[in-house]
Structure formats: structure tokens, C-alpha cells
Amino acid sequence: MDFALILFVLVVLTGIAWVADKLVFLPHRRLAADAAVVEFDRQQARIGERFADENAPQTRARLRDEKLRQPWWLEYTASFFPVILVVFLVRSFVVEPFKIPSGSMVPTLVVGDFILVNKFEYGLRLPIVNTKITQGSPLKRGDVVVFRYPKDESVDYIKRVIGLPGDTVAYENKRLTINGKLIPETPLPDYFDEERIGYAKQFEEDLEGRKHAILNNPAVPPFVMGAEDYPYRDNCSYNSAGVVCKVPAGHYFMMGDNRDNSLDSRFDPGEVAPGEASCPWNRDLDRSISYDQGVGFVPAEDLVGKADMILFSWKTGPDGASLFKPWTWFTAARVGRFFHTLQ
């Protein structure tokens, strides 16, 4: 089940309890508290000053508090409503946290990064129904975005925007061309990939002045396998050198920065593998998809938001951070990646 739907149900249930408490149960408790205090004062007056409770004010206050206290079932519903509501609104309209579990965006994003995704940059959408209510800013080439997997909207992907609606995108012989213009690449020092424990060829790609690092292994064949039948398949031409695609209206062409380890718009979107659904409490990106499937063209309505910042980052694997080993929270921290703005 989608985490947004779970939160919405909790908001509704706790909200009903909160309203019922304010309008019905709390007034009854106040009447009971007032009646108890009146009865206490009457008893104190009847027994006289000599035998009266020496701590009458404190006893009166304690008695009133006991009568005003919520029953356990209201304490665990109505009391949590404000917190759940704030989480729901912030997550739906402001920012949403995600964890990176795969290497498709290396070196920009690595496994173990925790990122914040801006939910209003491209226009606000109503949660659950996904109806757009504000226009927002248009996507730009080079934006790093989170989007729903077209075949299963409960699964999220993260890639870089390469082609806008109407663009002609070519990825042939391991080089990117947009609308007939070859995108400049500058060699960088080799990148050490922690996940694969080895060095990879690294380049700086310049997308209309927006520079970012990519990994591209010249030894990997350039042709694309597995492209069969998917929406707007006729917009693409596959050959031994790679692929050329005309981006349809209302769609985007996405690619990962780890060009030889990213299933993206170059590949046919397939079905989610059985048993691969992601846990909504641990929002993993890219992990929930069978690793023999891509995403095809991404519809505008599937956009979730723009990835703005790496909030925290921890190493993974045997030397990574563990919940049950508190010292690893410090030894496995990639402090240099904390609060890093994405390019």
C-alpha cells in the first residue's frame, strides 16, 4: 500500500477522534471535573475546618486533572492527530525524504545517501488523487528528479532529466546528443566505486551550462538490449550504436549518471517482479524494480519532485552503519556529503 494513503487514513481516523474529543468527550469530562470539585468542596465544608484536608488546593487540582484526563483510546488517537497531520502536509506539499539504495546515479548519488525532494518545484499535487493544483516551474535539462515507475506508481525512481517534450535525444557510441548538438564531455580522474570496489572512467558532462559528473565505461558495448514494445516505442530507433528517440508531448527522457549501470528511458519498461515491492516505511529508490526493466518515456503526471539536497550519508555493507551498533553512526558517516546541494 502507498505510504501517502496510509498517512491519509491515519489523518482521517485520528482527525475524527480529535474532533469528537473537542466537541463531545472533552465537554463531558469538564462537566464531570466541575461536579467532582463541587462535591469535594461540599464535603470539606460539611466536615468542618478542623477535619478538612490540609492540602485541599492540591487535592482539588489532582481530582480535576483525573477527571479531565483522556481515556487511553483517545490518548492514542486524538493526541497524535496534530503530529500526523503536520507530517502528512509537509511530506505532501513541501519536502519528502528518500534513501538511495542503488548505484544508477553514481557519482552524483551513492548508496546510503538520504536526500530531500522538493515537492512544490514543479507544481503542487493533491496526495492520493495526484491532481495538479499549481503550475510550478518547468523541468530543465539536468534536473535530478524523482518519479513514479510508469508500470507501478507505488514504486519510485530517481534519474536526471535529459530530454524535454519535443527533443530528439541520441545516445550512440557512448555519447549524448540533444537536438543534433553533441553534449560536451571532459575527462576527470577515475572514480573509485565503493559498491563495485573498483575504479570507473569519469567525465564531466555539460548540459547547457549545468555541469555534473558521469561514469562511462568505453569497454561496455553501446547497443541497448531489451527494447521491445512500450508506449511511444515508434518514437525510438535502436541500432548497434545505441538509440535515437523523439520525446513525445507531455513526457521526459531520463538517464542515470552511471551510464552503464542505469535502467532508464533507453530501456523498455516492464512489469514489477513478484515479491519486489518496496516497503513504504523505507522509501528506497530504484530498488523495487526487476533489474531487467527500464522506464521508457516518463509522463509528466508521474513526477514526484526535484531532488535538491543530500541530507545525510552513511556507508553501507559490512563496514557500514548499523542501527544496533551506535558507534557506526559516526565511523560510517560520510560527513563530506552531509547537506550537499545537488547539481
Residue at 180: amino acid letter: G
Prior bond of 187 cis (ω within 30°): no
User: Cβ-count burial of 285 within 10 angstroms (0-12 exposed, 13-18 middle, 19+ buried)?
Assistant: buried
What are the residues facing 305 on neighbouring strands? 146
Q: What is the dihedral of CA 258, 263, 267, 272, to 10 degrees?
A: 180
Distance (Å, whole) CA 141 – CA 252:
10
Which residues pair with residue 204 across a beta bridge?
A: 186, 213
Q: Report the C-alpha gap between 59 and 146 in whole angstroms.
A: 58
User: Residue 147 — left, alpha, or beta (φ > 0 → left; ψ -120 to 50 → alpha)?
Assistant: beta
Cβ atoms of residues 257 and 215 within 8 Å: yes
| Backbone dihedral angles phi then psi of residue 232, each to the nearest 5 degrees | 65, 25
Say whether 92 is catalytic.
Answer: no
d(CA 187, CA 75): 60
The catalytic position among 92, 102, 119, 159 is 159
Neighbours of 115 (CB within 10 A): 26
104 annotated active-site: yes
Catalytic member of 92, 102, 104, 313: 104
Q: How far is CA 309 from the centre of its chain?
A: 12
Catalytic positions, written as ranges: 104, 159
